[in-house]
Amino acid sequence: MRARILFLFIALGTLVLSACNDDNPAAPDPTGACCEPSGVCAILTASNCSGVGGTYNGDRTTCDPDPCPEPPTGACCQAGATCTLWSEFECGTFGGLYQGDDSECDPNPCPLSGACCASDGTCTVELEMVCTNGGGEFKGESTICEPSPCRVPDFSAPDVNSTSVRFGESVSPRDYLKKVSAWYFGHAT
């Protein structure tokens, strides 16, 4: 004997009947309680639960009573060496660095932020890991951007002075910093 399920939909005053059975691929996937990484219980299909990184508790299970355990907490480090006890999910949501389950904020395990120099010479205050993962150069804990510790990228151009000993070579203003009293960048005719 085949199982038959009769669905009754009422939408905008129209009655729609839909019969689903083993031969009907349009039958909806079963749902059940899903414990999401945040510790929230939601009724989802097994595949949707897996898609959000949750734990599926089985078909036709419910969220009452709540089957989801509270997620473990630990130290979460944010910019400025701020430490907060959060779950790994909460810490990641707010851009922190999770220090592990059951880690504590006393003593403070969080590194201090400092000046981070990008390749274009701009300076921002970041955690060392954030700075180096983004391709920057970390200048040390508690360093600041005023005055900027970042070196402005060098540039060079061909020496077009036909009387220069370096005529035709690539030169930079840095090559002559202590040898000239003024610079002119422009076009001469």
What pLDDT is attached to residue 21? 47
Q: How many Cβ atoms sit within 10 Å of the Cβ of residue 84?
A: 15
What pLDDT is attached to residue 156? 72
What pLDDT is attached to residue 81? 77
Please tell me the pTM assigned to this model: 0.46
Q: DSSP states of 18-86 as a string?
A: EEEETT-TTSPPPEEEEE-TTS-EEEEEHHHHHHTT-EE--TT--SSS--PPPPPEEEEEEGGGEEEEE
How far is Cα 174 from Cα 189, in angstroms, rounded to an integer? Answer: 25
What pLDDT is attached to residue 106? 93
| pLDDT digits 0-9 by tens, 50-91 | 999 999 999 999 999 999 999 999 999 886 678 999 999 999
Tokens of 163: 């009387």
Which residue in this structure is represented by tokens 């590194």? 111
What pLDDT is attached to residue 3? 38
Contact 138, 128 (CB under 8 A): yes
Contact 59, 33 (CB under 8 A): no
Residue type, 131: C
How far is Cα 117 from Cα 113, in angstroms, rounded to an integer? Answer: 13
Main-chain phi, psi angles of 47, to 5 degrees: -70, -40
| Ranges of each domain in the chain | 112-153
How far is Cα 183 from Cα 189, in angstroms, rounded to an integer? Answer: 17
Residue type, 89: F
Give, for all 189 residues of the chain, the pLDDT tens digit. Answer: 333 333 333 333 434 444 454 555 667 899 999 999 888 999 999 999 999 999 999 999 999 999 999 999 999 988 667 899 999 999 988 888 899 999 999 999 988 889 999 988 899 988 888 899 999 999 998 899 999 999 876 667 788 888 888 888 877 766 665 565 555 566 655
